[in-house]
Amino acid sequence: MKSTNWFQNVKGKFSSQNAVMFIINNKAFLLMIIMFFVAAIAAQAFLTSRNLVTLMRQVSVASIVGGGFTIIFTAAQFDMSVGDVLSLSAVLYALLSKTIPEPLAILLSILIGAFCGLCNGTLIKIFKLPAFVLTLAIGLIYKGITYSITNGATVYGLPDIVNTIGQGSIWFIPIPFIIMVFVLAFMFILLNKTIYGRHVTATGGNAEAAKVSGIKIDFIRISVYVVCGAITGIGAVVLTGRLGAATPNIGADFTLDAIAAVVIGGTSMHGGKAKVFGTVYGVVLVAIIGNMLSLNGVSPFMQWIVKGAIIAAAIILDNQTEALMNKQRERAALKIAGQSK
C-alpha cells in the first residue's frame, strides 16, 4: 500500500503537466545548452579557447544591458531608448576620460545614464503616454544630442586604462566578464532579496493591488528607469573600452538584443516576474547563434534575419506562455473552490 502511494506521488511529480511547466520555466537554459552542442558540432573553431574568450567578452555588455532591462520588464514598463542612452553615455564617457580622472569619468557615465532614465520615467508619469511610444521619441532626442556632440565622428585616442577595462583580463577571465558578474549579482539581490525588489515585482504583477497595499507605484515606475539607465551607463564604459573608441551609433543594436534576451530568459513583458540569470541564458543563446553563423561565414545580413526571427519567436513564446500560465492559475483556483465546497 505504501509503495503504491509512493509510486503515485512520483508519478504526480513527473506528470506531463509538470514536465511542460519545467520546460517553460527553464526554456532559456535548455535552449542555451542545446545550441551550445549544435554550435560545437557545426563550427570546428567554436570550442577553441580564443573563441570562447571572445564569446565571453561579447556576452558581457549585452548581459549588463539586459540586466538593466530586466527590471524594466519586471515592473511592466518598456524602454526603446536603451540603445541611444548607451551611445550617449559611451560618447560622453570617452570624451570625459580624456580630460578628467578615470574613476570620475566612470561615475559620470553612470550618472548620465541614470539621468536619462529619470527623464524617461518622469515624462511617462507626467504625460501618461505609452512607454513604448514615448521612449522611442525620447531616444531620437538622445541620438540627436550624441551626434551633435561628436558631429557624427568617432571619439579615438582614449587612455590606456579605458582599453584595459574593456580588453584586459585577470588571469584568463576577461575584465568585462567580471564586471558583468558583479552587475548581475547586484541586480539579482536587488530584485529578489530586497523590499524594493518585491515592490517592483508587485507593481508589475498588479499595479492596483500594489497601490492599495501602500506601495508608491509612481516612485517604483520612475526608479526602474533610473536603475536601468545607470546599468546602461556601466555597459557604456565596458563597451567603449572593448572597442577602444566610441561611435555615435555604438549602442544601436542593443535595445532589440536586450528585449530578446530578457523575454527568452523568462522575464515576462507583462511584468510581475524577474529572472536575472534567465536573461544571461538568453544573451548567451543569441550570442552562440551569432557566433556560430559568423564562424561558418554567414553574412551579417542573414544574421539580422535570424536575430529578427529569434525576437519574434521570443515574443510569441512569451504570449503563449502567459496564456498557459493563466489557464493553470484558473484550473488551480477552480480546484481549490471545488474542494472548499
In a domain, 314, yes or no: yes
Inside any domain, residue 258: yes
Q: What is the mean pLDDT of the chain?
A: 87
Yes or no: say if 259 and 283 are a contact pair by the CB < 8 Å rule.
no
Average pLDDT over residues 58-79: 93
Q: Does the reported pTM lie above 0.85?
A: yes
3-state SS class at 12: helix
Residue 75 neighbours by CB under 8 Å, 6+ apart: 200, 203, 204, 220, 221, 224, 271
Residue 187 counted as domain residue: yes
Tell me the angle at which helices 175-192 and 276-295 cross, rounded to the nearest 10 degrees.
Answer: 150
Extract the C-alpha cell encoding 215: 506601495
What pLDDT sits at residue 20? 62
Residue 20 lies in a domain: no
Task: Indicate whether 331 belongs to any domain.
Answer: no
Residues in the chain: 341
Provide the domain limits for residue 126: 28-35+45-321
Question: What's 312's domain CATH number?
Answer: 1.10.3470
Question: Which comes out higher in pLDDT, residue 225 or 275?
Answer: 225
Query: Does residue 333 form part of some domain?
Result: no
For 173, the 3-state DSSP assignment is: strand
Location of C-alpha cell 565571453: 56
Q: Is 214 exposed, middle or buried (0-12, 13-18, 19+ CB in 10 A)?
A: exposed
For the stretch 238-260, pLDDT in tens is 999 999 999 999 998 888 888 88
Q: What is the pLDDT of residues 12-36, one digit of tens each?
A: 555 556 666 666 677 788 888 988 9
Please report, as a single letter, which amino acid is at residue 234. Answer: I
Q: What is the pLDDT of residues 264-315, one digit of tens each?
A: 888 877 788 888 988 998 888 888 888 898 888 888 888 888 878 877 877 7
Distance CA 305, CA 282 (A): 18
Average pLDDT over residues 50-54: 90
Q: Name the domain count of the chain.
A: 1
Domain contains 185: yes
**Apex CA 106: angle with CA 103 and CA 108, to 5°?**
110
CA distance 13 to 197: 31
Q: Ramachandran region of residue 297, left (φ > 0), alpha (ψ -120 to 50) or beta?
A: left
- Is there a domain that residue 239 lies in? yes
